[in-house]
């Protein structure tokens, strides 16, 4: 090879290398995040499970990133005020929503929402999940769902079921049981778990749909007949799922999860989701969530996004078929 050709080749290689380096350094740097306090919005009052989980995650985020995390409770309108606040927040990753399953149920109950869950919010991580139980009082004469169904059918207009309110998961589940088992259980809505549990213990309620986290401290006062979800709850290994007993669409779990506005850049959303999922694997966090009667989230962001889509479709169908309406 001639010196001239060798020089030319070195010149070309050098020029290409310089161009490559220029291109690398010309790319915009990844945005610093977080660069200001993070607001973690809870669309329910302080003191409940949603608030407890938000503060648990918020504390760990603050420890990991050295940035203040403020939990802001924004209750009202079945959680839609807080949801809307986050959906319309600046898409910079500094406003995050701690939502519950209701976020995918309410759109079928309130069609004129000021936001669209699928369009305006992006799921990041499931924090925890929980089954619901169909329970009867401890002194009830029935011990299985089959016996309960037979008892209700033999005594028309005599039995009822309690829920956490119109349009809640427990109302939807009771309406679905009525539809599939051809029952006439009267719906009795409550404002919270405490009065519901009191009436169940006192015999004013024939049955109730209660989430496992609420039921766990009170299990000695009630008799579980069936559990929602795709598999049995390990705390109640002898209680069958509705699916095992021949009922369908009881598979969705109740969940608590983190969302951001859809416009948040992917690198920021991923950084937050990755950190949240790391936190949910910490032994003390796992222990605390299990103490609450829940299962820590273990899904990837993509897997949880599928749960959100699938659950939204299932609940929309149930609400339509059972004709549930918000009064």
Residue 84 is classified by DSSP as H
Backbone angles phi, psi at 2, to 5 degrees: -75, 155
Phi, psi angle pair for 213, to nearest 5°: -60, -40
pLDDT digits (tens, 9 = 90+) for 240-282: 999 999 999 999 999 999 999 999 999 999 999 999 999 999 9
Query: pLDDT tier at 327 (50, 70, 90 boundaries)?
Result: low
> DSSP for 184-216?
-PEEEE-SSHHHHHHHHHHTS-S-EEEEHHHHG
Side-chain-side CA neighbours of 206 within 13 Å: the count stands at 20
Could you give phi then psi for residue 112, rounded to 5 degrees?
A: -105, 40
Structure tokens at 202: 């006192």
In angstroms, the CA 173 to CA 112 distance is 24
- 204: Cβ–Cβ under 8 A, 6 or more apart, which residues? none
Q: What's the mean pLDDT in 189-197?
A: 90
Domain boundaries, given as residue ranges, for the chain = 38-129+253-322, 132-227
Tell me, what's the pLDDT at 58? 98
CATH class of the region 132-227: alpha beta
The answer to whether domain 38-129+253-322 and domain 132-227 are alike in fold is: yes
The fold of 38-129+253-322 is: D-Maltodextrin-Binding Protein; domain 2 (3.40.190)
């Amino acid at each position: 090879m001639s010196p001239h050709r060798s020089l030319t080749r070195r010149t070309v290689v050098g020029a290409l290398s310089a161009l490559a380096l220029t291109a690398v350094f010309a790319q915009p740097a990844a945005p610093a995040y977080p660069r200001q306090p993070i607001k973690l919005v809870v669309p329910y009052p302080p003191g409940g499970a949603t608030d407890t989980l938000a503060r648990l995650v918020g504390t760990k985020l603050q420890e990991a990133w050295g940035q203040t995390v403020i939990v802001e409770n924004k209750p009202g309108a079945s959680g839609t005020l807080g949801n809307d606040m986050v959906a319309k927040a600046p898409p910079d990753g500094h406003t995050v929503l701690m939502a519950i399953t209701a976020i995918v149920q309410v759109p079928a109950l309130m069609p004129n929402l000021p936001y669209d869950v699928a369009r305006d919010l992006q799921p990041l991580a499931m924090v925890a999940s929980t089954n619901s139980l169909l329970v009867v009082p401890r002194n009830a004469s029935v011990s299985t769902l089959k016996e309960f169904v037979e008892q209700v059918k033999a005594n028309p207009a005599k039995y009822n079921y309690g829920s956490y309110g119109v349009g809640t998961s427990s109302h939807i589940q009771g309406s679905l049981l009525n539809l599939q088992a051809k029952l006439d259980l009267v719906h009795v809505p409550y404002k919270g778990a405490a009065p519901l549990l009191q009436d169940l213990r006192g015999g004013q309620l024939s049955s109730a749909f209660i989430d496992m986290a609420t039921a766990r401290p009170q299990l000695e006062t009630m008799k579980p007949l069936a559990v929602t979800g795709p598999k049995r709850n390990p705390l109640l290994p002898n209680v069958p799922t509705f699916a095992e007993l021949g009922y369908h669409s009881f598979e969705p779990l109740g969940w608590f999860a983190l969302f951001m506005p859809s416009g948040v850049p992917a690198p920021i959303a991923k950084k937050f989701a990755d950190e949240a999922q790391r936190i949910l694997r910490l032994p003390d966090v796992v222990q605390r969530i299990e103490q609450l009667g829940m299962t820590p989230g273990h899904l990837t962001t993509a897997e949880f996004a599928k749960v959100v889509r699938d659950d939204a479709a299932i609940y929309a169908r149930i609400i339509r078929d059972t004709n549930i309406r918000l009064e």
